[in-house]
């Protein structure tokens, strides 16, 4: 049975990183972040845009991939933002220092083709996939970046996601959850189920990581949620990290 046969018409694919005027939901359920590599490299991102008359604040998550580079979802920085702020965490709580950042690159990942027997009814054109790299105004000295996946065809058996929204004008708490991959494409696009948790708007751009003998690596970025209704859902669409720096637009 394929994923979309299971979902049917009751579900919709929703972009995760939209501008919100009220509190932004982050991962529901899961567990508070600890002090491992994932928590150390995950950031909360806030951007300010002026699409019409009023300012709009977008709330997203990202991950440090180099001392001065943060990977997130491109729709988190749509609309030529007036500014972007990046905050790291100590465990689940935000650290005090705030970094300024600017957009360095945007990517439209190739969705590829679904691997044999993965999900024959999935329309890849309907899935939201985008990536962006932010450059910090100064490199981070006390955090270790996480490397990106290089082999998109080797789909991990298990994944973890980290996410933190903003509450009002404050940074939310960082939470993590395990994911079970359900389907993947030839380029690494992955649809996964959140175990004991739901992924929400504030988690857009959040790192989805796996682990091998070399340590933790970024498999992809949370780009959209499959849900009956906004703002949260139990299934997440993951944009493949292996295409970063190879498919710049």
Output phi, psi for 81, to 5 deg.
-60, 145
Is 134:47 a contact under the CB 8 Å cutoff?
A: no
CA 78-199-96 angle, 5° bins = 70
The answer to whether residue 28 scores a pLDDT higher than 90 is no
Q: How many CA atoms lie within 13 A of 134 on its CB side?
A: 34
Q: How far apart are CA 165 and CA 187, in angstroms?
A: 28
Confidence of residue 21 (pLDDT cuts 50, 70, 90): very low
How many angstroms separate the CA atoms of 26 and 126, rounded?
Answer: 24
Q: How far, in Å, CA of 166 to CA of 59, rounded?
A: 6
Tell me which of 1.20.120.420, 2.60.40.10, 3.10.180.10, 2.40.10.120 is the CATH number of domain 3-243: 2.40.10.120
Give the whole-angstrom CA distance, residue 76 versus residue 60: 6
- Identify which of 7, 11, 14, 10 has the alpha carbon closest to the alpha carbon of residue 204: 14
pLDDT, tens only, 70-126: 999 998 888 777 778 899 999 999 887 899 999 999 988 888 887 665 555 556 666
Determine the pLDDT at residue 122: 59
Average pLDDT for the chain = 81
pLDDT at 110 (0 to 100):
84
User: For the whole model, what pTM was predicted?
Assistant: 0.86
Report how far residue 245's alpha carbon sits from residue 109's, in angstroms, rounded to the nearest whole number: 11
- Residues with Cβ < 8 Å from 89, sequence gap 6 or more? 33, 39, 40, 42, 43, 44, 95, 164, 174
**DSSP codes of every residue in 103-137:** EEEEE------BPTTS-TT--GGGS---EEEEEES
């Amino acid at each position: 049975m394929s994923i979309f046969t299971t979902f049917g018409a009751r579900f919709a694919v929703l972009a995760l990183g939209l501008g919100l005027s009220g509190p932004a939901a982050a991962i529901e359920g899961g567990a508070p972040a600890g002090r491992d590599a994932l928590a150390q490299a995950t950031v909360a991102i806030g951007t300010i845009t002026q699409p019409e008359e009023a300012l709009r604040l977008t709330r997203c998550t990202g991950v440090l991939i180099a001392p001065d580079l943060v990977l997130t979802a491109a729709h988190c920085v749509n609309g030529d933002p007036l500014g972007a702020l990046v905050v790291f965490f100590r465990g689940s709580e935000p650290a005090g220092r705030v970094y300024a950042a600017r957009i360095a690159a945007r990517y439209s990942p190739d969705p590829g083709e679904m691997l044999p027997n993965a999900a024959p009814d999935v329309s890849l054109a309907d899935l939201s996939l985008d990536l962006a790299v932010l450059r910090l105004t100064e490199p981070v000295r006390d955090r270790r970046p996480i490397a990106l996946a290089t082999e998109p065809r080797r789909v991990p058996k298990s994944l973890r996601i980290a996410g933190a929204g903003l509450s009002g004008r404050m940074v939310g708490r960082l939470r993590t959850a395990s994911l079970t991959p359900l389907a993947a494409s030839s380029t690494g696009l992955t649809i996964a189920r959140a175990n004991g948790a739901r992924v929400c708007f504030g988690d857009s751009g959040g790192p989805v990581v796996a682990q091998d003998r070399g340590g933790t690596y970024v498999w992809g970025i949370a780009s959209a949620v499959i849900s009956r209704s906004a703002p949260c859902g139990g299934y997440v669409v993951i944009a493949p990290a292996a295409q970063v720096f190879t498919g710049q637009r």
